[in-house]
Amino acid sequence: MQSLEEFRIDTRAWLEQNCPASMRTSMVQEEVVWGGRNATFTNPESEVWLQRMAEKGWTCPTWPSEYGGGGLDKDQAIVLGEELVRINARPALTSFGISMLGPVLLEYGNHQQKLEHIPKIVRGEIRWCQGYSEPGSGSDLASLSTKAELQGDYYLINGSKVWTSYADKADWIFCLVRTDFEVPKHSGISFILFDMASEGISTKPIQLISGSSPFCETFFDDVKVPATNLVGRLNEGWTIAKRLLQHERTMISGFGLSAGQSDNGGTTSTISSLEGAAMHYRGDNDKLSDPVLRDQIAQFKIDAEAFAYTSRRSVEESKQGQGPNATSSMLKNYGCELNKRRYELMLLAIGSQGLGWEGEGFSDEELQLTREWLRSKANSIEGGTSEVQLNVIAKRVLGLPDILSLAQK
């Protein structure tokens, strides 16, 4: 068996050979690789990098190799992660298949389903979207009413979803549907997968306050889905749904981490770090001249640093245990609040130059910041609001009595 040190040496050598030069620079928004049937590569080296990483299964390092994953153990995956960070490598592939669906499919899917879907996630061939929220079911997700009726060997699906990220670009959807209306709400939900190219599906982008449209409304009108696409058991989809949410929260809590990290430099841009931006726009040399802002930035950075240690500790602790758990709610909540705080401070740091909307008088970077600031407001709503995370912490971590179950009595 190969020692961890040998693995590191081999990995380093392989990355040295195989990671293209432009993939060792900080990621720019337009070059994020989402994969899928209609994948586009603004930078041709992105495609090379994806192919090489996918071949080794390293887009999903710890997934079993029988389904195309890297088959690495946790320690090896950490080494790989460290080596990627060492050369500032970009993620070869970003997808909801990797961060959300894959882990639960490996846990709850049958062999056939894994065989069909996992390798395509690893290789970035299919882009997934998430059919969770509905117009009438936001924080109270389990009240969802998109209906799936069994008709012979397929389900007939009717209803609508909202806040479906990139539904207009996705190839497949993992979707929560109601398969029983007669039982308590949590007990009649199933988890099903289907092709977005199916007859009867339409999507409509939603324009956000930031001006962009990452989310859609998604409508299902007599969509036929093979019955074999149901994951896990009929009416037991809520367990899978919650598990997937834990993975989603872990992913989103990364925003807070990157908020802290991007704040420690990494790019040469004038607005990459809060203190750098604040001093640059004020013309300060060695000390930030606004003492209140200076104090607020210090407080932010201290929290971001302590949060980064907390994320790391959570990884170290889960090495003995099992993947993400209820503490993912804490990390999600704190990480999102940190990210929002960072944007608010960044606006204060660059003053009126951070308030432009379009056109002359502002750099692209400044205009992008305005939009990102607005977009960050969704961080504490998507993937379960901060209030829902606090409910989960109170109930699952602190063991406090559940007012909702009291209310239902």
Handedness of CA 67, 255, 365, 22 (dihedral sign): negative
Q: Which of 295, 323, 351, 352 binds other proteins (CB under 8 A)?
A: 295
Q: Does 75 bind other proteins (CB under 8 A)?
A: no
Q: Does 11 bind other proteins (CB under 8 A)?
A: no
Closer by beta carbon to other proteins, 26 or else 264: 264
Q: Is residue 240 within a helix (H) or strand (E), and if so which, with residue range?
A: helix 237-262
Q: Which of 164, 310, 339, 370 binds other proteins (CB under 8 A)?
A: 310
Q: Strands, E, within 315-397: which ranges?
A: none
Site string for other proteins, 334-353 (x = CB under 8 A): x-------------------
Site for other proteins in 92-131 (CB under 8 A): none
User: How many angstroms separate the Cα of 166 from the Cα of each of 170, 214, 279, 336, 372?
Assistant: 6, 6, 37, 20, 17
Q: Does 390 bind other proteins (CB under 8 A)?
A: yes
Q: Which of 302, 323, 352, 365 binds other proteins (CB under 8 A)?
A: 302
Q: Which of 309, 321, 322, 408 binds other proteins (CB under 8 A)?
A: 309
Site string for other proteins, 311-330 (x = CB under 8 A): -xx--xx---------x--x
Q: Which of 133, 333, 339, 379 binds other proteins (CB under 8 A)?
A: 333
Q: Does 381 bind other proteins (CB under 8 A)?
A: no
Q: Does 257 bind other proteins (CB under 8 A)?
A: no
Q: Is residue 154 within a helix (H) or strand (E), and if so which, with residue range?
A: strand 154-165
Short-list 40, 37, 35, 41, CA closest to 197: 37
Q: Are 143 and 135 contacting, i.e. CB atoms less than 8 angstroms apart?
A: no
Q: Which of 134, 236, 248, 275 binds other proteins (CB under 8 A)?
A: 275
Q: Which of 56, 247, 301, 342 binds other proteins (CB under 8 A)?
A: 301
Q: Least distance (Å) from other proteins to the CB of residue 22?
A: 30
CA distance linking residue 310 with residue 315, whole number of Å:
9
Q: Does 287 bind other proteins (CB under 8 A)?
A: yes
Q: Least distance (Å) from other proteins to the CB of residue 254?
A: 16
CA distance linking residue 103 with residue 109, whole number of Å:
10
**Beta strand pairing status for 189-195 and 172-178?**
antiparallel
Burial class (CB in 10 A: 0-12, 13-18, 19+), 198: middle
For 73-132, the DSSP string reads -HHHHHHHHHHHHHTTPPPS---HIIIIIHHHHHHHS-HHHHHHHHHHHHTT-S-EEEE-
Stretch that binds other proteins, among 48-56, 205-213, 283-291, 339-347 (CB under 8 A): 283-291
User: Which residues here bind other proteins, judged by CB under 8 A?
Assistant: 275-276, 278-279, 286-288, 294-295, 297-299, 301-303, 305-307, 309-310, 312-313, 316-317, 327, 330, 333-334, 387, 389-391, 393-395, 397-403, 406
